[in-house]
Amino acid sequence: MALWKDPAPAPQPTAAPPPPKDLFPKEPEKMVAHTAQQESPRRMNQKADAKESVIAADLTIEGKIEGSGHIRIAGSFKGDVNVQGNLTIEQGARVTGQVRASTVVIAGTLQGNIEAAVRVELLETGIVEGDVKAGSLTVAAGSRMRGQVAFGWDEKAVKAAGLAAAGGGSAT
């Protein structure tokens, strides 16, 4: 005697045949490119801020970098960097030269001075051999630096202090 009643097996639905495969695949959708004239100035500024150039880890470059935009160096660069944007020196990267950028983040090695940066971040693996002049400076434990540091001063205050010390006129 069975303790449960076996239900009648449910009828199996007939499966619809799979759709036929296209012998000729469809062309990818085409995107319409907008010209810069169609873009609003605010939108164009956002795009310009998003651009970043990269020097890969297996590259060694000697020269000069100038312009606007962000730079990320993972390899080796010898020369001056002058950008209206951010400079990031990755861990294991090496830069030899003078640096001028809005924000400088150092996880690798920099041999040279940093001038007129708004913000400098020296990360745990970062090494700086040179002088630093910045609006603000963040130094992580474990980082190393050899050189002089001036931070918290803006350009007007530095010039005014220099004039007053030299006996010059009043600062504006």
Q: Tell me the one-letter amino acid at 149.
A: V
pLDDT for 104 equals: 96
DSSP tally for the chain: helices H, then strands E: 2, 16
Confidence of residue 165 (pLDDT cuts 50, 70, 90): very low
Mean pLDDT of the chain: 76
Chain centroid to CA 127: 18
Q: Does 48 have pLDDT greater than 50?
A: no
Q: State pLDDT tens for residues 77-89.
A: 999 999 999 999 9
Q: What is the largest distance, in Å, between two alpha-carbon atoms of the chain?
A: 115
To the question of pTM greater than 0.75 for the whole model, the response is no
Q: State pLDDT tens for residues 50-69.
A: 588 999 999 999 999 999 99
Q: Does 14 have pLDDT greater than 80?
A: no
Q: State pLDDT tens for residues 89-127.
A: 999 999 999 999 999 999 999 999 999 889 999 999 999
- Of the candidates 119, 66, 121, 60, the one whose C-alpha atom is nearest the C-alpha of residue 95 is 60
Q: State pLDDT tens for residues 126-163.
A: 999 999 999 999 999 999 999 999 998 766 554 444 44
Q: Does 47 have pLDDT greater than 90?
A: no
